[in-house]
Amino acid sequence: MCLGVPGRVVDVQPSPIGVPMGKVSFGGVVKEVCLAYVPDVEPGEYVVVHVGFAISRIDEEEADEVFRFLESMDELDEIHIPQPGESDPSLPDRFASPGAATAGGASSGPGSGGAEPSTDDTA
């Protein structure tokens, strides 16, 4: 599903190649966003961001309403940034942080009792 998420512009900066860039806060999570489609946006204004591009400007009331709706549907996982030592639940277990428990609680590999082929010829 394609999703545009509302956020508050906290900083606007020109980039070295002339494309306006900025930092946008999504409920406290700040991400760098391309502002090429809304080049006259200013800090404090609200935009809808889709795949890293601010695609339109909206007012604060509409931004709050949409953000609350998305939170109620648990559709804001993509803006969560895993912290050091925290596994990302959106990734398969093989990408988990070292030492993080897997869904089954067991790892596979030598000496782990996992899916290692048997070399016992006594059977």
Q: What's the token pair of residue 19?
A: 């494309």
Q: Give the whole-number percent of the chain exceeding pLDDT 70.
A: 59
Looking at residue 113, what is its pLDDT?
Answer: 47
Domain boundaries, the chain: 5-78
CATH topology of domain 5-78: SH3 type barrels. (2.30.30)
Residues of the chain short of pLDDT 50, as ranges, are 81, 83, 91, 94-97, 100-118, 123
**Tokens 């509409």 appear where?**
62
How many CB atoms within 10 Å of residue 8? 19
H-helix segments, 1-123: 60-72
- Residue 46 · residue 7 · CB < 8 Å: yes
